[in-house]
Amino acid sequence: MSADGRLVLVVEDSGADATLIRLAFNRAGFENRIQTAASVEDGLDYLVGRGRYEDRIRFPFPSLIILDHKMPGDGWPIIEWVRQRSEMALLPLVVFSGSDNPNHQRKALELGANAYHIKPTEFAAFNEVVRRIGEFWLRGV
């Protein structure tokens, strides 16, 4: 884990995209720890601290959530769940999706996401978006 104890929870059903996000954070010079959850249920388990995530020393509460809403079961419930809890009111939640549908963007923001970024298909652009997410939400913290 990073010296400042921050963690990024990436809720992403694509193992390849989760790996790219991890690599992009490393390339950008962030020492933050990345924890991935491959489904909505796994992400909620992590946030609640249940099941295999009970140990909050090994699995600390995140400082940032990066969510792909386009998953089986949809990622929207995570945004709703987080925003219904007063103790998570200030937790940054960024949607990082392959969808450029304006209705998806609008819905994410209406539900309480802090930002919506479309996943670029080019590797350099992907790295740049992840770097900017880190710069804004982690270095500014």
Q: In what order do the strands lie in the sheet with 93-97?
A: 33-37, 7-11, 64-67, 93-97, 115-118
The class that CATH gives domain 7-139 is alpha beta
Query: What is the per-residue pLDDT across 65-93, written as a single tens digit (0 to 9) for each?
Result: 999 988 877 889 999 999 999 989 899 99
d(CA 83, CA 90): 9
pLDDT at 2: 43
Q: Report the b/e string of 96-119 with b at 16+ CB within 10 A.
A: bbebeeeebbebbeebebbbbebb
d(CA 7, CA 31): 9
pLDDT at 4 over 70: no
pLDDT at 51: 95
d(CA 107, CA 105): 6
